[in-house]
């Protein structure tokens, strides 16, 4: 009898220890989408676009109202996500061409290497846009290093830059998928290579016209003019309509293969970035042009990957984070109906600006966090930035960051898990120009940059005079209070300078 009791106690103790261990080592699925705006999801107020899968995730998790990417474009936001450093401190972290070299340091902790060092299986499936190899000149016909592996991803299935940039190929573990030595790939961003028709010379070959003056009229791939020239690799070139299925399949395969270990998967969807060329099942479905269709498509992909977690019994102990790399844009280079069929939809919700803008819509993005084993459902107004994921997961994994790594990243674990309502005290936002947010106040530094970009129809938020907004009363940044509160302006300008000089 006594022995039985003892066994029972040992069993109970070891299973609760196991649970503790499990709770500190959840699987982490980071779903990172491209150019989705603060107002694009049902759970963030959209009535024109239905996003049932993400709304369900939000209803069962924590929905953030003041979460940010570091920057208002892709490369710098992804750089910050990976390194925990403000990208504006480092030259060469702006939007990269498709032939750029890797910009993430391989000798510092990255979000991926941190998970890897903690014993996780690490993978990335989707958009990369952080450069590959050690130089612009590279041989696309052999394995390219350094890349995802050298910064901590065991597995990668990526495309190099953006969907509108050459080379329009996938790389699996840093080798082009379906590459062929007899049809070598060449890439050039200045001069035409090979004999492929370009959008500029042959607009009659396009299935979707590019927007005048935006430059998406170089090599045509899959009936779409791209930025940059490429030749060769005919069998390796992607079909845009298949991309969601391709990425979903690879992401599922990774999860299935690593279901016994804790894993970190960055599932970096390309939607709703241009060129929006949804798969047949979504074409025309939103009634809002291809941008709306692309959002339905990404919502579907999220639903499918979550279903996979469910079927494998992994949902409860998987921490899912959903967010976007920057704010929304309608016309980003193609005539795809985003403008003409907008139908009253507000991609940025109540916020002003969008992608490229230092106004809030540039970096304030949807962020949903779910971890059924640990996170209570609700809404959080905590100020939090994707740059914080590095220090936050360092805390969760109990792997302290080496001194100097991720210096701009803050441990916001309590906010991420909904245990604290306050997040950062201060955040610097970035869109070329910088701004600083502290509590309700936002100060935008004076800038000579243009106030408005006519090609994308974006209010960039730049002004020669200082700007000060009270975000609690004026989230749409309409009333510049700088002249009424000169002391506040001075204090925030000084604080910003201090952070810049850090």
User: How distant, in Å, are the alpha carbons of 211, 449, 490, 492 from that of 487?
Assistant: 45, 25, 5, 9
Report the relative pairing of strands 384-385 and 67-68 from DSSP bridges: parallel
Of residues 34 and 445, the one with the C-beta less far from Ca ion: 34
d(CA 7, CA 348): 58
The listed partner (Ca ion, ligand NG6, none) that binds 491, CB under 5 to 8 Å by sort, is none
Q: How far is the CB of 444 from ligand NG6 (least distance, A)?
A: 20
Site string for ligand NG6, 265-284 (x = CB under 6 A): --------xx----------
Q: 25-55 b/e with 16+ CB inside 10 Å = b?
A: bbbbbbbbbbbbbbbbbbbbebebbbbebbb
Q: What are the residues facing 159 on neighbouring strands?
A: 127
Of residues 144 and 224, the one with the C-beta less far from ligand NG6: 224
Radius of gyration of the chain (CA): 23
Contact 72, 355 (CB under 8 A): yes
User: How distant, in Å, are the alpha carbons of 266, 322, 332, 495 from that of 79?
Assistant: 14, 17, 22, 23
Judged by CB under 6 A, the number of residues near ligand NG6 is 16
Q: How far is the CB of 404 from ligand NG6 (least distance, A)?
A: 28
Judged by CB under 5 A, the number of residues near Ca ion is 5
Q: How far is the CB of 356 from ligand NG6 (least distance, A)?
A: 8
Q: List the structure tokens of 186.
A: 């060449």
- Interaction residues for ligand NG6, span 296-355 (CB under 6 A): 326, 332-333
Q: List the structure tokens of 184.
A: 């070598």
Which range binds Ca ion by CB under 5 A, 68-76, 119-127, 143-151, 455-463? 68-76
Site string for Ca ion, 369-388 (x = CB under 5 A): --------------------
The listed partner (ligand NG6, Ca ion, none) that binds 333, CB under 5 to 8 Å by sort, is ligand NG6
Residue in 326, 380, 394, 435 binding Ca ion, rule: CB under 5 A:
326
Which range binds Ca ion by CB under 5 A, 70-78, 100-108, 330-338, 478-486? 70-78
The listed partner (Ca ion, ligand NG6, none) that binds 162, CB under 5 to 8 Å by sort, is ligand NG6
Q: How far is the CB of 226 from ligand NG6 (least distance, A)?
A: 10
CA dihedral sign of residues 161, 319, 410, 151: negative
Residue in 325, 331, 332, 410 binding Ca ion, rule: CB under 5 A:
325
Q: Answer left, alpha or beta for residue 331, where phi above 0 means left and psi between -120 and 50 means alpha.
A: beta
Residue in 26, 27, 33, 34 binding Ca ion, rule: CB under 5 A:
34
Residue in 93, 110, 162, 219 binding ligand NG6, rule: CB under 6 A:
162
The alpha carbon torsion through 227, 228, 234, 237 (nearest 10 deg) reads -40
CA dihedral sign of residues 378, 382, 383, 388: negative
The listed partner (ligand NG6, Ca ion, none) that binds 209, CB under 5 to 8 Å by sort, is none
Q: Answer left, alpha or beta for residue 255, where phi above 0 means left and psi between -120 and 50 means alpha.
A: alpha
Binding site for Ca ion (CB under 5 A): 34-35, 74, 325-326
Binding site for ligand NG6 (CB under 6 A): 34-35, 73-74, 95, 129, 162, 164, 214-215, 227, 273-274, 326, 332-333
């Amino acid at each position: 009898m006594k022995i039985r009791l003892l066994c029972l106690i040992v069993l109970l103790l070891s299973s609760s220890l196991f649970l503790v261990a499990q709770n500190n080592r959840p699987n982490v699925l980071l779903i990172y989408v491209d150019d989705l705006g603060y107002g694009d999801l049902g759970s963030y107020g959209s009535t024109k676009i239905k996003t049932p899968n993400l709304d369900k995730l939000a209803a069962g998790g924590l929905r953030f109202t003041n979460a940010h990417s570091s920057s208002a474009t892709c490369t710098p936001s992804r750089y910050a996500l990976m390194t925990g450093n403000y990208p504006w401190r480092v030259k060469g972290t702006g939007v990269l061409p498709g032939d750029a070299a890797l910009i993430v340091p391989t000798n510092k902790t990255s979000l991926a290497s941190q998970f890897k060092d903690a014993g996780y299986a690490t993978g990335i499936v989707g958009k990369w846009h952080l450069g590959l190899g050690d130089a612009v000149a590279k041989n696309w016909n052999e394995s390219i290093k350094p890349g995802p592996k050298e910064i901590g991803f065991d597995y990668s299935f990526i495309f190099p830059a953006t969907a509108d940039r050459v080379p329009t190929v996938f790389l699996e573990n840093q080798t082009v998928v379906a590459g062929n030595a007899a049809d070598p790939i060449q890439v050039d961003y200045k001069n035409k290579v090979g004999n492929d028709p370009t959008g500029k010379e042959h607009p009659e070959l396009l299935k979707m016209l590019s927007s005048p003056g935006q430059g998406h009229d170089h090599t045509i791939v899959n009936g779409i003019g791209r930025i940059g020239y490429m030749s060769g690799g005919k069998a390796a070139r992607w079909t845009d309509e298949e991309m969601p299925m391709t990425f979903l399949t690879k992401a599922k395969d990774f999860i299935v293969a690593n279901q016994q270990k804790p894993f970190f998967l960055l599932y970096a969807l390309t939607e709703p970035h241009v060129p929006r060329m949804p798969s047949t099942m979504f074409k025309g479905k939103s009634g809002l042009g291809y941008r709306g269709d692309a959002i339905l498509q990404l919502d579907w992909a999220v639903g499918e990957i979550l279903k996979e977690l469910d079927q494998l019994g992994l949902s409860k102990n998987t921490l899912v984070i959903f967010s976007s790399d920057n704010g929304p844009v309608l016309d980003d280079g193609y005539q795809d109906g985003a403008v003409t069929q907008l139908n009253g939809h507000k991609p940025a919700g109540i916020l002003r600006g969008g992608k490229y803008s230092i106004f809030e819509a540039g970096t304030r993005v949807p962020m949903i966090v779910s971890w059924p084993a640990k996170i209570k459902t609700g809404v959080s107004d905590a100020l939090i930035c994707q740059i914080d994921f590095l220090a936050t997961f360092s805390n969760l994994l109990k792997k302290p960051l080496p001194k100097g790594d991720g210096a701009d990243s803050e441990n916001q674990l309590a906010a991420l898990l909904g245990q604290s309502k306050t997040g950062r005290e201060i955040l610097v936002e970035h869109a070329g120009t910088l701004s600083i947010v502290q509590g309700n106040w936002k100060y935008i530094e004076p800038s000579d940059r243009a106030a408005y970009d006519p090609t994308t129809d974006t209010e960039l938020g730049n002004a020669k005079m200082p700007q000060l907004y009270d975000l609690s009363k004026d989230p749409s940044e309409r009333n510049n209070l700088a002249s009424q509160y000169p002391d506040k302006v001075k204090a925030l300008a000084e604080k910003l300078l201090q952070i810049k000089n850090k």
